[in-house]
Amino acid sequence: MLLTQTLSDQYVQVGSVRTRFWQAGEGKHTILLLHGAGGSAEFWYYNLPGLARQHRVIAIDMVGSGRSDKPSASYSLTYQAEFILGFMDAMSISSAVLVGHSMSGGAALQLAFMAPKRVEKLVLVGSFGLGQEVTLSARLATLPFAVRSLQPSPKVMRPMLKQNVFDVDTIPQEWIDLRYPIFALPGRKEPLIQMARTNLCLRGVRETVYQPIVENLKNIIAPALIIWGKQDRILPVAHAHVAAKRLPNAEQPLLLDRCGHYPHLEHPARFNQAVLNFLTGTSGSH
């Protein structure tokens, strides 16, 4: 069992949004861990302690997710990027390393366009916003019945994770138990529906969402590390190559075998070491 006492809930006001976060460690870099759509700080449970041995690390419940407030809003990538920026301002963080998973990868890229001086380095983990392709279940989430039909129950946690990870049996039960109370919180569906409608359509990611990101990748000067599961069924590994080819200061992508959409949860030791190496400039060829 990990040292959960170091991962106690803290809150800060970001504009009108009461925002929950976990924080540990200190060091040269401040790392912001940004979960994907509908996630929470718990997704970084196996990453934050290891990374915090060398750095200040903060895992945020993004606006509309976890125990943070869930306002009625567009949940566009710009809206989410502005929220991250607001969090940094509220915490007096002048610049940070952004580790963005899935939807928050897209928000981190958006922030890198908006405020490049605030982004020291980028770690993109199965990132959203690099192409049109996305799993059918995400496209169907644009339909009202899809998300509303999900009734929280401990029994559905593993079956739901099955499409997201390579081998659901490798996910520890302690993590399932930790995540379930967050998954079952009231009010989590409405932001997910709005996020899906804003960013997706039945064909996939909206062109107005991903095309500006892909076209602007060449202008992001921050060093970037791309981490992807080879068997990611949510966002295809081909998108990792889009980012690697177009980001001027991207390292060779780290593509993990026997890994789905959650490299940080499925292979935490390799993930943590890759991020630490990236921050010290010793990553080489992984």
Q: What is the pLDDT of residues 77-124, one digit of tens each?
A: 999 999 999 999 999 999 999 999 999 999 999 999 999 999 999 999
Q: Which residues of the chain have pLDDT under 70?
A: 1-6, 140, 142-152, 283-286
Produce one character per residue of 56-92: b if its CB has 16 or more CB atoms within 10 Å, e if not. Answer: bbbbbbbbbbbbbbbeebebbbebbbbbbbbbbeebe
pLDDT value, residue 157: 84
Question: In a 3-state reduction of DSSP, which class is residue 159?
Answer: helix
Return the DSSP state at 42.
Answer: G
pLDDT value, residue 144: 61
Query: Whole-angstrom Cα distance, residue 286 to residue 274?
Result: 7
Are 111 and 119 spatial neighbours (Cβ–Cβ below 8 Å)?
A: yes
Query: Whole-angstrom Cα distance, residue 204 to residue 42?
Result: 27
Q: In what order do the strands lie in the sheet with 56-60?
A: 10-14, 17-24, 56-60, 30-34, 96-101, 119-125, 224-229, 254-256
Of the candidates 99, 100, 108, 81, the one whose C-alpha atom is nearest the C-alpha of residue 14 is 81
Question: In a 3-state reduction of DSSP, which class is residue 121?
Answer: strand
50-60 pLDDT, tens digit per residue, is 999 999 999 99
pLDDT value, residue 146: 56
Of the candidates 18, 48, 51, 53, the one whose C-alpha atom is nearest the C-alpha of residue 35 is 48
End-to-end CA distance of the chain: give it in Å, rounded.
Answer: 28
pLDDT value, residue 24: 96
DSSP H or E run through 31? strand 30-34
The whole-angstrom distance between residue 198's C-alpha and the CA centroid of its chain comes to 18
The whole-angstrom distance between residue 142's C-alpha and the CA centroid of its chain comes to 20
pLDDT value, residue 152: 66
**56-60 and 17-24 beta bridge pairing:** antiparallel
pLDDT value, residue 139: 73
- CATH architecture, domain 4-280: 3-Layer(aba) Sandwich (3.40)
pLDDT value, residue 122: 98
pLDDT value, residue 6: 56
